[in-house]
């Protein structure tokens, strides 16, 4: 049965969605746009501003499309090629995606992301290649793909504990290139220790509004 979602407005004026079966929002209630910019762009993608080759991004949880949309905008602003691949088991209904609002002028870009066919790689803009897959993250193991950056944006460990395990973070470590980066809003101590057990060097960074910390995990260059 498809997951049921409801739209709501967060504290910074941007929209988010609520998974009613889980009672869990897709983004922070204190600001969806603010959280995504802080965690995934400022402390993730901005690390690659000077990269001359394409930045390949893997996202666990395409969801509302906000992180992909911000990555598309970033590729325009920085003239850096981005290849984005997002995994999502419960796609947001297209009619609901059509009324999401994150910031002024976002509707065309967001519409392009949600209208794009599943399971096909498309060049949405000269600097942005996009693919979304209606599949579990385990499927990435068999693709042979390697990534520079992982947006780990699953629902909280209390809601989806199966996605915050040693086996999942080991897979993330494997698919990252040496020197690759994983960012997540979560800062739980057991999550940090699990990442470290996989070989990541983990940093605690200041979190978005109303959240003290977040985590950034680095795969050593020497691996």
CATH code of the domain containing 107: 3.40.50.150
What's the chain's average pLDDT?
Answer: 95
Total count of domains within the chain: 1
| pTM of the complete model | 0.96
Specify if 17 maps to a domain. no
Does 1 fall in a domain?
A: no
- What secondary structure does DSSP assign to 75-132, as a single string? HHHHT--EEEEEE-SSPPPHHHHTT---STT-HHHHHHHHHSPTT--EEEETTEEEEE
**pLDDT digits over 67-122, tens only?**
999 999 999 999 999 999 999 999 999 999 999 999 999 999 999 999 999 999 99
Residue 53 lies in a domain: yes
Q: Has residue 1 got a pLDDT over 70?
A: no
Percentage of the residues of the chain whose pLDDT score is greater than 90:
91
Domain with 112, as residue range(s), is: 31-218
Residue 160 lies in a domain: yes
- Close Cβ partners of 145 (under 8 Å, ≥ 6 residues apart): 56, 58, 85, 175
Residue 120, domain member (yes or no): yes
Q: Give the residue-averaged pLDDT of 46-69.
A: 95
For residues 64-90, b (16+ Cβ closer than 10 Å) or e, as one string?
bbbbbbbbbbbbeebebbbbbbbbbeb
DSSP string, 118-167: TT--EEEETTEEEEEESS-GGGGGGT---EEEEEE-PSPTTT-GGGSSHH
62 vs 91: CA distance, rounded Å? 8
Q: What share of the chain is helix, strand, coil (3-state, %, to 5)?
A: 30, 25, 40
Q: What angle do CA 46, 152, 125 make, to 5 degrees?
A: 55
**Res 223: pLDDT:** 67
Residue 28 has pLDDT above 50, yes or no: yes
Q: Is residue 56 part of a domain?
A: yes
pLDDT confidence band for 51 (50 / 70 / 90) = confident
Which residue in 62, 106, 57 sits closest to 81, CA to CA? 57
Instruction: Look at residue 84 and tell me if it is in a domain.
Output: yes
Question: Is there a domain that residue 14 lies in?
Answer: no
In this prediction, residue 4 carries a pLDDT of 87
**What integer pLDDT is reported at residue 2 of this predicted model?**
54
Note the pLDDT tens digit of each residue in 131-185.
999 999 999 998 999 999 999 999 999 999 999 999 999 999 999 999 999 999 9
């Amino acid at each position: 049965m498809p997951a049921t979602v409801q739209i709501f407005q967060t504290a910074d004026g941007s929209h988010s969605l609520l998974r009613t079966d889980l009672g869990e929002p897709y983004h922070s209630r204190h600001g969806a746009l603010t959280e995504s910019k802080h965690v995934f762009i400022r402390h993730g993608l901005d690390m690659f501003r000077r990269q001359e080759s394409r930045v390949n991004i893997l996202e666990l949880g395409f969801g509302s499309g906000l992180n992909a949309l911000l990555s598309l905008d970033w590729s325009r602003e920085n003239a850096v090629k981005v290849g984005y691949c997002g995994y999502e088991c419960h796609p947001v209904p297209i009619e609901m995606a059509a009324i999401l609002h994150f910031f002024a002028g976002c509707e065309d870009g967001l519409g392009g992301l949600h209208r794009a066919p599943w399971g096909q790689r498309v060049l949405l803009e000269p600097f942005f290649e996009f693919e979304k897959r209606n599949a579990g993250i385990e499927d990435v193991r068999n693709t042979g793909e390697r990534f520079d950056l992982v947006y780990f944006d699953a629902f909280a460990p209390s809601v989806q504990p199966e996605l915050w395990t040693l086996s999942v973070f080991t897979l993330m470590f494997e698919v990252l290139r040496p020197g690759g980066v994983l960012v997540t809003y979560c800062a739980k101590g057991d999550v940090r220790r699990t990442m470290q057990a996989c070989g990541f060097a983990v940093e605690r960074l200041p979190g978005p509004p109303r959240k003290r910390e977040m985590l950034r995990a680095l795969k050593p260059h020497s691996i």
